[in-house]
Amino acid sequence: MTTTTDLLTIAGHTFESRFILGSGKYSYDLIDAAVTHAKAEMITMALRRTESADDNILNFIPDHVTILPNTSGATNAEEAIRTARLARELSGSPFIKLEVVPDKKYLMPDNAETVKATAVLANEGFIVMPYVLPDLNVARQLVDAGAATVMPLGAPIGTNQGLSTKALIQILIDEIEVPIIVDAGIGRPSQAAEAMEMGAAAIMANTSMATANNIPLMAEAFRLGVEAGRKAFLAGPGRVIDKGAIASSPLKGISQKV
């Protein structure tokens, strides 16, 4: 199976890449590396990055890359809805990464306010991709409200801690019909591969690349990690033996004499 036949589909839009760049730690080098080496086809955009001509992220995102505006900074549903509307006017993109984060210490999303905002924005024609704490009941409410994906955090934003919520994310993958995209906390390509092996539809990362010593090399490593994990998921990992061991080569016909 090739990338052209195994496509990521979000609300009817298809992507060959399953790596999404979060651009909170925005720089031209980061965007260039993500597009060139990680092959990202979707990049987030915060509203504040479009406020001046000199620092407008839209000037640095290639035309073939889909812009994913986010509602970064919103602390309740009302603020998120207002930010989403402004972002659509500025970017022209129907996509919105919905973030409602009132907690300033741990940056934990407010699931209830996120569900509320999702219902309004989906009704207005947005392709809503909400960022949430992994909770099955909330994920079902989001889908009912019109969410195109569900984006559970792997670990707190910017920590690079990996899949701290692995068991809860697996439940969402198993039970929710829209794409599950792991967002926040993925710090290593191996962690991205692990999430993809679980059946995640895609990975979003930012800090792990932005803080790497060699951004282009890390971008390439993430591409390979995501691709490897996806292929492993499609292949179906082999069985696990809890006790004892099973020889990888048959023992029949081998002399047991010492």
Active-site hit among 25, 97, 116, 257: 97
Which among 228, 163, 205, 186 has a CA at the least distance from the CA of 42? 205
**97 noted as active-site residue:** yes
Sheet harboring 95-98: ordered strands across? Answer: 151-152, 127-132, 95-98, 66-70, 42-46, 19-21, 202-205, 181-183
Query: Quick check: helix, strand or coil at residue 132?
Result: strand
DSSP string, 29-69: HHHHHHHHTS---EEEEEGGGGSSSTT-GGGTS-TTSEEEE
Active site positions, annotated:
97
